[in-house]
Structure formats: C-alpha cells, structure tokens
Structure 1
Amino acid sequence: MKKTLLLIAALLTGFCSMAQETYKPTTENLKAREQFQDEKFGIFLHWGLYSMIGAGEWVMTNWNINHREYPKLAKTFYPSEFDADAWVSAIKTAGAKYITITTRHHDGFSLFKTATSTYNTVDGTPFKRDIIKELAAACQRHGIKLHLYYSHLDWGREDYPQGRTGLGTGRDKEKADWNSYYHFMNTQLTELLTNYGPVGAIWFDGWWDHDSDAKPFDWQLTEQYAMIHRLQPQCLIGNNHHQTPNAGEDIQIFERDLPGENKAGLSGQDISRLPLESCQTINDHWGYSITDTLYKSPKELIQMLVRAAGKNANLLLNIGPEPGGALPSLALNRLQAIGKWLNQYGETIYNTRGGIIAPHDWGVSTQRGNKLYIHILNCMDTSLFLPTGSHKVKSATVYGTNQRVNFTKTGHGITLNLNTVPTDIDYIVELTL
C-alpha cells in the first residue's frame, strides 16, 4: 500500500511538472511578470457585507449565519464615506503600485454589477453603485494597477459543492451542481475582464476548501486559466492554494509568511521560479474588525517590506475598510509612514531583485545592476561580515550620502566597519560591485 501511494505521489508530481511546462505565457504576460516584480508593494482590500458586522470576513461561517438571513445585510448596505479617489490617493502616497480588492469573497456578495444575480452592490443594495467600476476608474486616473481577488468557494450558493467550510449556513447539500457553479464563476470572471479595463491580476482564493476530500476535487483550473489569458493575455494569475504553483499560474502567493518561512503554517510549499508575493495583514484581521486595534508599527511594516524585497518577493499589505467606506485612521497613519520612508529609500526597493547576499537575521540585500544595497535591520555590533564571494567590492557608502563605510577583505567576503551600532529602521549601505 505504501509503495502504491508513493507511486501515485510520484506520478502526480510528474504530471504537475509536465502541466506547468505545457503552459507557455505570452510576451505580454512575461512583460507583466517583470513589471510586477519591479513594483514590490501593493495594498490588499477586504471589503464586503461582512464589514458591516465588524467581526472579520469569515463571520458568515464562524457564526453559522443562515444563507437566507445573511443576504439581508445588503438591504442596508450604504457606505456613504466610500470615495475611490480618496482610497487610491492614500494608497499611491504610501508608495504602493497596485491594489488587490475582493470583488467577491466567500460570502458570495459581489462588489460589481453582474448579470448572474441581483446579489451585488448595484442591484441588491440602496447604494446602487458599482464599487469595482469606480475603483478601476480611480486607479486609471492615478496610475495604479488594479488586481482582482475572486473566491473559488461560496458559502451562500447551493449549487456550490460544499467543502470543509461554511457547513453551518443551512444549505441543502443535495442541490450541489458543479456545472452550474462553474458556469456562474466563469461568467463573472468574463464580466470582470471585459467591463473594467486592464486587469493586472486575478487573485484566486478558496481551493483549500476541498483539500481534504476523499476523492481529489477537480476545480477545472486549466480551462478557467486559459479563458482568463485569452481575455487579457497580460493578466497574471495567482492562486492562494498554499501549494506548488499549477500550470497557468503566473505568480506564487505566500499567506502571512515570507517565501521560505512557514510561521503561520500556511506556506510550507517550495519556492518556484515565478514572481513571488507575500500577503500580510496590517493588524490581525483581513476584513474589518471593530475590536482589532493591534496594528503593526511602521517599523514592523517597513522591515516586512524590506525583507520581502530581499527574498525577491512583493509585499501585499491588507487593510479592511470600515463599514461606511473609509479607510481606518490607524491604517492611514501607517500608510503615511511607509510612503515617507519609500519616498527617501524607494530606490533600494523598487526595480530591484534579491541581492547576491542571502537573507540573514541581521537583514537582507537587494540589487540593481552593479549596485548592491545592504539593508541592516537588526545588527547588534559595529561590524558586519558580508559573504560576497568572488564579487569584487569597489566602494561602500551610507545610502543617500557620500559618507564612506570602511571595509576589509575577510575570507570569502568583506567586513563592514560601521563605527556605531545601527539603530535606524533600515540602515542601508550601498556597495558598488
């Protein structure tokens, strides 16, 4: 039995590898991947009916709210403070290059007008406005890219084949109809990729709802991905499935972890050669939580961004807008701090790749051409050894100044002599190779 399981695992691994090789991204897609890696910083927005309850985006399943009762929230959805331009302006000032927003989360409510049902902001609420349309227009005005989150699962629709979540919402399991649900999803995705201008990426979530099925669940991703790439060839596809990337995926996502780390228990997969993105929360929740004031400090967030860049990844930092449509003041405070830092040091982050010096506890390196930026985040000494190997270092200066940093050749690298213990959020030494 054990040998049989090992054989099946080997065959599946081989099949996945071959499937990945059969996907040939277009020239537009490859260019978009490079641009994505250059951008380094995006803002995630989790917003929907769940925001009105103020207990996070999983409240429907966490509280076992009946699927016939939950939609009644839509009857009073009127976010009078929503201003797409204000959102995008604050996010652009923070130095972010793209926005990823939940077009439809696991509760099934759509923030855009859709022909599939009236369960959306235009046809099912007194607000009667298309959130995604307004945000897309604001992004185009401000030069920010728009990425669209889309849930693969649905706790409200009875045609969705139930997985391991949303079991207490009162749906009739016998009414599951995968063909109907798959058609519904693809219709919505077609609408999103047809009616809202250029889309930077489709960000899928929910695959894991069927990861415990006795028989592997077929999400029919190959056909769905091909449809997306056909509609917008440059559009990147990412899937938050916590697995090695599948054929047709263009970026690899790590939830609440940096690549190679698994502190949250969701990112144990191998690191692929695809562009990487780490999604993290600005406080402790994705959707708005009225009791959550545990916002990470500006120092924590800036160092998170730097460490992501040093691991050759983007940081997608999540904010849960308030029920009324405003971004929380504490979130705006953090955005301002990040933007101020990036305004001064962004050259060492944007358009770089992970440097030749691997990440260490003391910090990371980023690189552009012959410029190697040493980001010292946690050094307790006045000297620091850098394993530069065979690379010759011509000069070392404190970034943004003409202040020289003395260094000595030491074994297979150099030792920086810093004079004092660095206390900056990020003490950056620029090496010219």
Structure 2
Amino acid sequence: MPMQPWFPEAKLGIFVHWGIYAVKGVAESWSFFGGEISHDAYMDQLGGFTAERYDPDAWARLFAAAGAKYAVLTTKHHDGVALWDTRATDLSVVKSTPAARDLVGPFAEALRTQGLRVGLYFSHNDWNHPDYPTVRPSRLQRPWVDNRYAMPAEGDENPEAWERFLKTVHRGQIRELVENYRPDLLWFDGAWERDEQQWRMGELREEILALGPDTVLNGRMLGHGDYATPELGVPITPPEGPWELCYTIGDAWGHQPDDTRHKSVRE
C-alpha cells in the first residue's frame, strides 16, 4: 500500500510530549526506569496532574500559524499512563488524576478544525503493567533494557501473561485510539524490548489498516511501518524512503524547568 500523499508533502509536524512527568519536570518514564527518582515518587505525580492550562484550540491555532500540517500527541508513554479513558487499564488521567477527563479527543478535534492532520503517539512498552515484563526476547538489542520494569529475570518468564497483555492492553488500547479518534498517523515507540515474533507487528499493521485504511504508520514497528524516524540528529546517509527527523526544541522531550537551551532558528 503506497504512502498517503499528504505525509511526504507535509514538511513540518509538531510533537507534543506531555504527561504526568510535567508535574515535577522529570524525564518522561526514564526517570524511574533508570532510578533517577523512585517509582513511588514518579507515580505521585498523578495527584498533581490537573491539566488546568490545557487549551488544544490555542495549540492548534499556533501550530497552523507556524506552518505545520500535522501534530502528534503522546497518548501513552512508557509509564503506561493513558491520556484518554481507556477500558484496558485503570491507569489513565481520566481515572487516576485530578484532570479527570479525556485529553486526546479535544486535541484531535482542535487540529481538524484548523485543517491539520491528527497524529497520536503510542508506546508499545508499558513499564507499569504487571503483565508486560513477562517475556524476554531471543536476544537483547540493547543490554540496558534488562530491567525488571521491562522484562523478567531469566527463568521467570510467563508467556500466558504476555499474551494477555498483548491482547487486552496493547492491541486493546491501539484499537481504542483508532476507533475513537480516527488518527491520520500513529507514531509508535518502544518496539526494541521484544522480538517481531512476540509483537507480531505484521499482524498489528493489518489490524490497524482494517480499521483505518488511510492511517500512516511510523517505522517503529520492526519493519512494518511506512517511514523512518531518526532522532536528534540529521542522518549522514538519509534513510531509504520517506523519513522524519524528530527533534526537541531544547534538550528534553517533555517539560523540564531547567531545559532552557533552546535551539536556534537555523537548527
């Protein structure tokens, strides 16, 4: 299936990296994964997430004025906290924070009002769900992922729990996003912690396109996406086919109070 023509012509998209990690201004998910703060301290941010300054209409007007043609919102990062009222888990800003409302629907509606395409980020990883760290890949692509939030110790695998996670949480939440919000683009992340055999990404692609035939899928699907997504540096050799450089305005992805080294206009 050919790439949807709007994407290679879009040129500029805006990436909104937002979640409970903005409350304390810590690194998204990685801060507890790497032990910079405790898991309890990280999750305490749920109680302070009010989204009181959430104004998707103003965001969309700004994006359009900047010349963007699409925007992407982090609907669920590796911490597993969903920005919509997911039925798959209780860990959402609707059920677990003072914000107590869906933050994805108004974002999508505001973008469409401005004529912008809707992109939704979704992490395959879920470092908070007990059924997620239950299988190990045949080999570790990145040694530092051998972390108990990501996978079990050798000999403690539970394939049944993994299949339950894959069906109920992973596939269930992606289906909710596609059916509820009809995104033009799904921006996946986190595929490195499992094998293709475990994720069954080819099967996932078919499921998504059956629900939304025009959906563009980024490349973090172990070979089953539409375009490459290098980060934080222009590749010396351009990837084959369409690609998108994902770049931060400062040094961090999400809000951090000390992140004040904003990139120049030229950058």
Which residue is 1:357 aligned to? Answer: none
Which residue is 1:385 aligned to? Answer: none
> Larger relative contact order (C-alpha < 8 A, sep ≥ 6)?
2
Which residue is 2:16 aligned to? Answer: 45
Which residue is 1:145 aligned to? Answer: 117
Checking the alignment, whether the CA contact within 8 Å between 1:67 and 1:156 is kept in structure 2 is no
Residue correspondences, number:
253
1:104-253 matched pairs, under 5 angstroms: 104-161=76-133, 164-165=144-145, 167=147, 174=156, 176=158, 177-183=161-167, 184-196=169-181, 198-210=182-194, 218-240=198-220, 246=223, 248-253=224-229
Letter in 2 for 1:286: W
Over alpha carbons, which structure has the higher Rg?
A: 1
Summarize the Cα distance change of 1:65–1:159 in structure 2 as closer, same or farther, 3 Å threshold. Answer: farther
TM-score (norm 1): 0.54
CA distance in 2, matches of 1:168, 1:178: 14
Which residue is 1:277 aligned to? Answer: 244
- Residue deviations 1:294-314 (CA, integer Å, cap 9, x gap): 1001122xxxxxxxxxxxxxx
TM-score (norm 2): 0.85
Summarize the Cα distance change of 1:257–1:86 in structure 2 as closer, same or farther, 3 Å threshold. Answer: same
Summarize the Cα distance change of 1:124–1:135 in structure 2 as closer, same or farther, 3 Å threshold. Answer: same
CA distance in 1, matches of 2:41, 2:71: 31
Summarize the Cα distance change of 1:166–1:108 in structure 2 as closer, same or farther, 3 Å threshold. Answer: farther
Which residue is 2:232 aligned to? Answer: 256
Checking the alignment, whether the CA contact within 8 Å between 2:3 and 2:226 is kept in structure 1 is no
CA distance in 2, matches of 1:271, 1:126: 43
Deviation at 1:234, TM superposition (A): 0.5
CA distance in 2, matches of 1:157, 1:66: 17
2:198 partner SS: coil
CA distance in 2, matches of 1:166, 1:106: 15
Deviation at 1:97, TM superposition (A): 0.6
User: Which of residues 280, 294, 307 is equivalent to 2:261?
Assistant: 294
CA distance in 2, matches of 1:169, 1:251: 29
Letter in 1 for 2:117: K
Which residue is 2:140 aligned to? Answer: none
CA distance in 1, matches of 2:42, 2:256: 18
Unpaired runs of at least 5, structure 2: 137-143
Checking the alignment, whether the CA contact within 8 Å between 1:109 and 1:119 is kept in structure 2 is yes
Task: Tell me the percent identity.
Answer: 33
CA RMSD in angstroms comes to 2.5
Letter in 2 for 1:135: F
Summarize the Cα distance change of 1:68–1:225 in structure 2 as closer, same or farther, 3 Å threshold. Answer: farther
CA distance in 2, matches of 1:205, 1:108: 12
CA distance in 2, matches of 1:36, 1:161: 35
Deviation at 1:121, TM superposition (A): 1.4
1:254 partner SS: coil
| Greater percentage in strand | 1
CA distance in 1, matches of 2:157, 2:191: 20
Deviation at 1:218, TM superposition (A): 2.7
Checking the alignment, whether the CA contact within 8 Å between 1:229 and 1:235 is kept in structure 2 is yes
Deviation at 1:118, TM superposition (A): 2.0
Checking the alignment, whether the CA contact within 8 Å between 2:133 and 2:152 is kept in structure 1 is no
Summarize the Cα distance change of 1:114–1:166 in structure 2 as closer, same or farther, 3 Å threshold. Answer: farther
Deviation at 1:222, TM superposition (A): 1.0
CA distance in 1, matches of 2:77, 2:98: 20
